[in-house]
């Protein structure tokens, strides 16, 4: 998408995906923009549609590249902040983690432990742009510092498709942009560190949307994340195994969504196919 500087109150870039022949200096990210928006209430679509959206969010990258297995963090999740995060943004992060515990029922908390599962590091915007010129902020697997990121940029380390489970992730956000931009980055990148790695144009009620309608996690997003960490699922499951369990999961988590509409699953795409 073209830049709309006058409207861009805040940017949020989607998950990183290493190219086939990685540039020795820069990482590549889909170019996206973040605009402020209001968060709707609870998810309102039928559970059958929720299941369909879940599969496309969990088993595809934004490029359309399929992910071979379902991955998430297993067990309690810890988050550490490295760098200069404004007090108001620390409050935003605290509020977000509280929502994730209350609405998505994810066992997640802040820590000062150097072995945290997710590290959020602030980086000067000019420095970040030299590595990822199309991204205002992003999340990558396995690395948890800017130095580690630079060292891993020409290796398979940053490839989400090679994961069998999630153990560590790094979220990189600019330190010198507006508090609104930082808040928006915290919402989308932490959500992607925990769950979906895809964005879908067809989701008007989600931050996982290429049109960037919403700036904070919505009721739809919280329901998807709650399903992501349902006890019926585990890392390493195939697309079909997850799809088979989703009707029961959404029936339990969202009884109001048990009505006609959508389909629970589509046949898997051939490897490398695009939407």
pLDDT in tens, 136-185: 889 999 999 999 998 887 788 999 999 999 999 999 999 999 999 999 99
**pLDDT at residue 221 is higher than 50:** yes
pLDDT tens digits, one per residue of 104-114: 999 999 999 99
Neighbours of 94 (CB within 10 A): 11
Phi, psi at 77, each rounded to 5°: -115, 130
Q: How far apart are CA 56 and CA 94, in angstroms?
A: 29
Residue 198: closest CA among 77, 106, 66, 74: 66
The answer to whether residues 71 and 193 touch, using CB atoms and an 8 Å cutoff, is no
More confident residue, 45 or 28: 45
CA atoms within 13 A on the CB side of 42: 11
Cβ-count burial 228-254 (b if 16+ within 10 Å, e if not) = bbbeebeeebebeebbebbbebbeebb
DSSP sequence for 75-128: S-EEEEEES---HHHHHHHHHHHHHHHHTS---EEE---TT-SEEEEEE-HHHH
Mind listing the domains of the chain with CATH numbers? Answer: 47-253 (3.40.390.10)
pLDDT tens digits, one per residue of 29-62: 544 444 344 455 676 779 999 999 999 999 998 8
| Angle CA 235–237–243, to nearest 5 | 120
């Amino acid at each position: 998408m073209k830049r709309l500087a006058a409207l861009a109150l805040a940017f949020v870039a989607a998950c990183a995906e290493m190219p086939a022949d990685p540039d020795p200096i820069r990482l590549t990210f889909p170019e996206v923009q973040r605009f402020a928006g209001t968060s709707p209430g609870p998810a309102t679509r039928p559970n059958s549609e929720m299941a369909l959206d879940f599969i496309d969010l969990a088993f595809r990258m934004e490029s359309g590249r399929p992910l071979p297995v379902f991955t998430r963090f297993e067990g309690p999740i810890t988050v550490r902040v490295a760098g200069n995060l404004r007090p108001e943004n620390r409050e935003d992060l605290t509020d977000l983690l509280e929502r994730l515990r209350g609405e998505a029922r994810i066992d997640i908390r802040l820590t000062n432990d150097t072995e945290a599962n997710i590290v959020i590091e602030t980086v000067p915007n000019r420095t970040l742009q030299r590595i990822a010129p199309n991204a205002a902020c992003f999340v990558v697997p396995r690395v948890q510092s800017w130095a580690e990121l630079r060292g891993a940029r020409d290796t398979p380390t940053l490839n989400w498709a090679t994961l069998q489970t999630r153990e560590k992730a790094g979220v990189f956000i600019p330190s010198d942009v507006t508090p609104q931009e930082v808040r928006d980055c915290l919402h989308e990148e932490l959500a992607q560190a925990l769950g979906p790695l895809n964005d879908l144009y067809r989701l008007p009620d989600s931050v996982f949307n290429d049109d960037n309608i919403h700036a904070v996690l919505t009721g739809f997003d919280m329901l998807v994340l709650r399903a992501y960490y349902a006890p019926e699922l585990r890392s390493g499951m195939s697309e079909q195994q997850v799809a088979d369990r989703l009707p029961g999961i959404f029936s339990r988590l969202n009884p109001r969504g048990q009505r006609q509409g959508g389909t629970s699953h589509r046949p898997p795409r051939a490897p490398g196919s695009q939407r």
